[in-house]
């Protein structure tokens, strides 16, 4: 803690970095579970401190879902270049409509920005309503945390 601010940074399970697990098992739902676990630990260790949650890129989408599902009070959510339309972003990154391929029953494994888009990931996005901007907008309107979004002029 410095200047009255405590910072907790973690790697999501089954993701890139030094986290445990294999990228083939990474899903947005598991990322939400990881964030909820971290928030629970933060609240236990610092019961009287306000919590701000920061989500960048795809973690922005999982941070939004976390606030919908989590009982722990988060005072503010800061989104840095958040992915708010997962389907559009993944299709652009993969240069293929992996969602249509998934719906047609194809095996998926595309290299996307050094990460692998695989069937487990796409299946989770579809089945747990992470797919489009409509769900993101609905979730953003369902909690009381103050939200600050930082985007770039050429981001859609």
Residue-wise pLDDT for 88-105, tens only, equals 999 988 888 889 988 888
Residues 23-150, CATH architecture: 3-Layer(aba) Sandwich (3.40)
> What gap in Å lies between CA 98 and CA 94, rounded to an integer?
7
Q: What is the mean pLDDT of residues 6-31?
A: 84
Residue-wise pLDDT for 24-71, tens only, equals 788 999 999 999 999 999 999 999 999 999 999 999 999 999 999 998
Strand, helix or coil for residue 68 = helix
Q: State what percent of residues in the chain have pLDDT above 70.
A: 92
Q: What share of the chain is helix, strand, coil (3-state, %, to 5)?
A: 40, 15, 40
Q: Return the domain boundaries, the chain.
A: 23-150
Can you count the helices (H) and strands (E) in the chain?
6, 5
């Amino acid at each position: 803690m410095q200047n009255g601010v405590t910072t907790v940074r973690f790697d999501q399970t089954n993701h890139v970095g030094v986290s445990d697990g294999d990228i083939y098992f990474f899903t947005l739902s598991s990322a939400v579970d990881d964030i909820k676990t971290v928030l629970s630990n933060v609240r236990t260790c610092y019961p009287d401190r306000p919590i701000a949650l920061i989500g960048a890129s795809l973690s922005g989408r999982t941070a939004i879902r976390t606030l919908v599902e989590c009982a722990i009070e988060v005072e503010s959510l800061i989104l840095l270049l958040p992915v708010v339309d997962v389907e559009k972003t993944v299709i652009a990154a993969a240069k293929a409509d992996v969602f249509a391929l998934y719906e047609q029953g194809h095996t998926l494994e595309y290299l996307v920005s050094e990460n692998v888009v695989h069937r487990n990931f796409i299946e989770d996005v579809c089945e747990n309503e992470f797919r489009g901007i409509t769900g993101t907008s609905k979730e953003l309107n369902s909690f009381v945390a103050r939200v600050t979004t930082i985007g770039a002029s050429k981001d859609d």
